[in-house]
Amino acid sequence: SKEKIALFTIFGGTGDLAQRKLYPSLFKLYQKGYLQDHFAVIGTARRPWTDEHYHEVISDSLADLDADQKDVDQFASHFYYQSHDVTDAQHYMTLKKLSEKLDAQYGLQGNRIFYLAMAPNFFGTIAQHLRSENILTDNGFNRVIIEKPFGHDYASAKELNDHLTATFNEDQIYRIDHYLGKEMIQNITAIRFGNNIWESLWNNRYIDNVQITLSEKLGVEERAVYYDNSGALRDMVQNHILQILSLLTMDQPVEFTEKDIDVEKVKALRSLRPLKPEEVATNFVRGQYGAGDDGVKAYRDEDKISPDSNTDSFVAGKIMIDNYRWSGVPFYVRTGKRLTDKFTRIDVVFKRPVVNIFNHEDVLENDDASTRLDPNILTINVEPTEGFELRMNAKAVGQGFATTPVKLNYSHDAEATAGSPEAYERLLHDALNGDATNFTHWQEVADSWKFVDVIQKYWDEHQPDFPNYRPGTMGPDAADELLHKDGHRWVYRN
């Protein structure tokens, strides 16, 4: 049977993440039969809710799914609410009693998943109490799922990890990076290692540069307080972008298993060329949006943002990898808020043919761009479109002989993607299965922070000239110059 058996304890059960992502994802697992009779959920938070009220909240959180009310009620009946202040030891005793009662009632075999959907400054306290109050079982599995951000820099991440590992082993810790739950991010491994034409060209002899863009259209919105203390570099580059980079650049894992993939990702991240402080300004660009048309507010005028904030709402950077495969290939990355549109894409730009036989003499005499063939570009569209695009040169139709760029295009059809699980559903299912392939491991977190810390420190010590980009554009001009000075340009431009 595909049924999974577990008790979920969700810390922060009244919160935004729980209501918007976790409850709908658990419900989908229920609809698909991964959760049946043998599961229960304890939601904990400070508010004094009753089980009845909790069931209404669960039901409301599923409103968009257009599900049968009988199924919804049946599902919600597995949920129990426990008012709980995570700093109060007494509350863990109550939690333990309820857990044991539900274990007996639903036949949960001692399987426990603790989901910490709360601010990370509570993670250490929760983990410590789970141990001291003896809440972990010894007859089933005990796994903890935690959200980003994992630390603020290397030192705080290390401290947080030390707190967690005082209670849990590394193989019990599931650090969520929801990009790793996305269909097309998981597809990177399939494309690379399932196709000889790509894997044989996937190196510095054939690839000219690689571009990773995570673009957001909205401004800072509700997460203002958190974001203003973090910024784009910490919020997006340290985790999502460096994770994507490691999947794009790792060597072939021996087998498609969690352990083998982790080994290769760690090798890739350890090969990032660390920046020296004096190299930060020439390799990384930070930005913050000013006011736009139609009353779009400047970052500094947004609610709960300090009027002299120097937080980066945009970052672009050039990352080099010092190993045999990638030496000399720049990886350009960028992400930001209030850009042209919401999308994620990866552009792999191949080297041009060495000689343009169609325009041979010109090439020998002057190597200007107009006489060169366009490069092949493999674009991986991560979202909202999910698919690939390959740009090639072909003969232009008609009399005479000229070349013209054409595109091969593949995208998942709407029907296939409609039934496909969302990131959180996929990741919760993996955690139930004990499969941490698509979660971040500690060594990856550590190496990513070490790379990012140098940049952040330099920025903290030097005043930026903010604001420096207009809403609805792809960031400051300096982000374009970053590529121009290498003779490159962004494949996606506005």
- Sole binder of ligand NAD in the list 26, 42, 62, 117 (CB under 6 A): 117
Which residue's CB is nearer to ligand NAD, number 5 or number 232? 232
Least CB distance to ligand NAD at residue 154 (A): 19
- Sole binder of ligand NAD in the list 15, 110, 124, 421 (CB under 6 A): 15
**Which stretch in 39-47, 92-100, 257-265, 475-483 sits in contact with ligand NAD by CB under 6 A?**
39-47
**39-45 and 142-146: which strand pairing?**
unpaired
Least CB distance to ligand NAD at residue 335 (A): 15
Contact status: 298 vs ligand NAD (CB under 6 A): no
How far apart CA 26 and CA 98 sit, in angstroms, is: 20
Least CB distance to ligand NAD at residue 267 (A): 28
Amino acid at 141: F
Least CB distance to ligand NAD at residue 17 (A): 3
Has 91 been annotated as catalytic?
Answer: no
Least CB distance to ligand NAD at residue 418 (A): 22
Which residue's CB is nearer to ligand NAD, number 119 or number 364? 119
Footprint (CB under 6 A) of ligand NAD, residues 48-107: 84-87
Which residue's CB is nearer to ligand NAD, number 178 or number 270? 178
Footprint (CB under 6 A) of ligand NAD, residues 141-170: 147-148
Q: Which two tokens stand for residue 215?
A: 């673009």
150 in Cβ contact with 239 (< 8 Å)? yes
Least CB distance to ligand NAD at residue 353 (A): 44
- Sole binder of ligand NAD in the list 9, 14, 59, 238 (CB under 6 A): 14
**Which stretch in 118-126, 230-238, 332-340, 402-410 sits in contact with ligand NAD by CB under 6 A?**
118-126
**Which stretch in 44-52, 194-202, 271-279, 352-360 sits in contact with ligand NAD by CB under 6 A?**
44-52
**Which stretch in 12-20, 137-145, 458-466, 476-484 sits in contact with ligand NAD by CB under 6 A?**
12-20
272 in Cβ contact with 246 (< 8 Å)? no
List the one residue out of 494, 459, 466, 467 whose CA is nearest residue 480.
494
Q: 84, 129, 178, 240: which is the annotated catalytic residue?
A: 240
- Sole binder of ligand NAD in the list 12, 317, 471, 475 (CB under 6 A): 12
Contact status: 45 vs ligand NAD (CB under 6 A): yes
Contact status: 118 vs ligand NAD (CB under 6 A): yes
Contact status: 41 vs ligand NAD (CB under 6 A): no
**Which stretch in 111-119, 227-235, 255-263, 348-356 sits in contact with ligand NAD by CB under 6 A?**
111-119
Contact status: 46 vs ligand NAD (CB under 6 A): yes
Which residue's CB is nearer to ligand NAD, number 18 or number 280? 18
Footprint (CB under 6 A) of ligand NAD, residues 189-208: none
Catalog residues that contact ligand NAD under the rule CB under 6 A. Answer: 12-18, 45-47, 84-87, 117-120, 147-148
- Show which residues are catalytic: 240
